[in-house]
Amino acid sequence: KEIEIVVGNIVVATGFKPFDASKIEQYGYGIFPNVLTSLELERLVNASGPTGGKITMRTQDKKGNWIFTADGQQPESIALIHCIGSRDENHNKYCSRVCCMYSLKLAHLIKEKIPRAEIYEHYIDMRAFGKGYEEFYDRILHEGIHLIRGKTAKIDEEDGKLMLRSEDIENNRIVEQKVDMAILAVGLEPGSDTASIASMLGINQSEGGWLQEAS
């Protein structure tokens, strides 16, 4: 039967999909084994993950596959690169609104698990807009995590390490930095069925493909 309900608001929870980091070839995702996405690191630090929550670098198994193992070598230096696929004229112009804070959270988790590790956050602008977010950002500053404002141009591999070439806007210089592991903070994109949902419900979509609010 059909039911008519009078309501004040309708929430259409569409979900999302993470940006495919391999689309930005200069970052080497899928080429260099220790370039990971943020979701892969999230899985790695989880106690139910492949290493029991231990952060290790990928190593080759007997078949030549690059895998994570609990007895693998721990990274001594890690770079987290913000805005992968977001705020980018070549991909998605919009800010995904989650990458800054989840990157800071991941840096905090890495510092807890590997206190001696040097951790670098490469960001364009810090978007700490929610309740308690600015306080968490201040906490990160006191944990010894290095924040570098500027866009990362490229990741290469050199002598078994990853070589990052980035901007440091606040100090007016170009940074070339060697790290053991690089984490790509991927942005969000509308789910593949968002267009069909919009059509079915008669809702407009924004330029980025998200559902447009009525007012």
pLDDT reported for residue 28: 97
Does residue 102 surpass a pLDDT of 80? yes
Q: What is the pLDDT of residue 9?
A: 86
Q: Report whether pLDDT(15) > 90.
A: no
d(CA 86, CA 25): 15
CB contact at 8 A, 209 and 195: yes
**Using N-to-C axis directions, what is the helix angle for 133-141 and 99-113, rounded to 10°?**
40
Which pLDDT does position 74 carry in this prediction? 97
Band the pLDDT of 215: cuts 50, 70, 90: confident
The predicted structure's pLDDT at residue 152: 96
Helix (H) or strand (E) holding 136: helix 133-141
DSSP one-letter string for 22-58? GGSGGG-TTTSTTEEEHHHHHHHHSTTSTTTT-----
Residue 25 is predicted with a pLDDT of: 97
> How much of the chain, in percent, has pLDDT values that exceed 70?
100
| Average pLDDT over the chain, rounded to an integer | 95
Torsion sign (Cα): 125, 130, 135, 136 = negative
pLDDT for res 10? 85
| Structural contact between residues 77 and 111, judged by C-beta atoms closer than 8 angstroms | no
Contact of 149 with 170, CB cutoff 8 Å: yes
pLDDT in tens, 117-163: 999 999 999 998 889 999 999 999 999 999 999 999 999 999 989 99
Query: What confidence score (pLDDT) does residue 13 get?
Result: 86
Quick: pLDDT tens for 22-52: 999 999 999 999 999 999 999 999 999 999 9
